Structure 1
Amino acid sequence: MKKLTNSFLLIFCILFTTSLLIFSVLTYLNWSLLTGFLLGVIISIINYLLNELFFIKLLSKKRKFFLAFFLTNLKHLVWLVLFSGTFIGILFANNLLKNMWTDGIFNIYTFIYGSLFVAISIITDNFWQIIKDRKKERRRK
């Protein structure tokens, strides 16, 4: 697989640690915040690895339109089934366990935040790289 850049890993670790600390402190109010966030991060990492796997398969084969079309649609279908299945499972688990725990076992909002976590890290890394490049250009002038 493609080697992750050190800056992306650093930003991912910083954001993950900060969010984990915040949700750990908030477990005093509701522990489903932490479980929803952790499940969302796991889904986000699986999505990232799925994208890497399919893009490597696309780039390693001869570039035929049908293969690229098929693999791209298969990737989207797998991601849709994975995310939808997890989301529906969370809704059912919360509904079944609502009597035992007040708010269920997973928080939907923190799950959605966690499922976007790799994308947020990539955007933050790109923003950081743009700032660094602009500073380098100013120093050259």
Structure 2
Amino acid sequence: MSTYDKPLPELTEENRPFWDSLRERSTLSLQRCDACGHIRYPVGRVCPECLAPGATWTDVSGGGEVLSRIVFHQVYNQAFADDVPYNVVLVQLDEGPRMFSNVVGIPNDEVQVGLRVRLHCDPVTDEVTIPRFIPEEP
């Protein structure tokens, strides 16, 4: 695998199931509260709905809708200079949580609020696969 010079997430025991599901199975796995069933992201020790501590990792569909979008034309971090312009989107996942990411595979001007998307796994290192999104096929 080629060198990846962009910032990477810190893998911890708490978030490792999230990153492992992407890398090993190309699946988005999120925490489901054992007490109330709320699906949460980002990873947390307690449920933001009921404050219960227990959760089970649950595979979700990876489908969602672009809720908000922006295209960056300025270099804020030198590691992303070759990517400018690039989009950053807030995806409303079908199961409830929202996730910041990118839509890939289409021009930035085609990324619009309301666009249906699905998970696209981008293996950037041997350890880390980044969750990105592609347009859902009609």
TM-score range, shorter chain: under 0.3
Q: TM-score of the superposition, structure 2-length normalised?
A: 0.22
Please state which structure has a larger fraction of its residues in helix.
1
Q: Which has the larger radius of gyration?
A: 1
Q: TM-score of the superposition, structure 1-length normalised?
A: 0.21
Please state which structure has a larger fraction of its residues in strand.
2
Task: Work out which structure has the larger RCO, using CA pairs closer than 8 Å and 6 or more positions apart in sequence.
Answer: 1
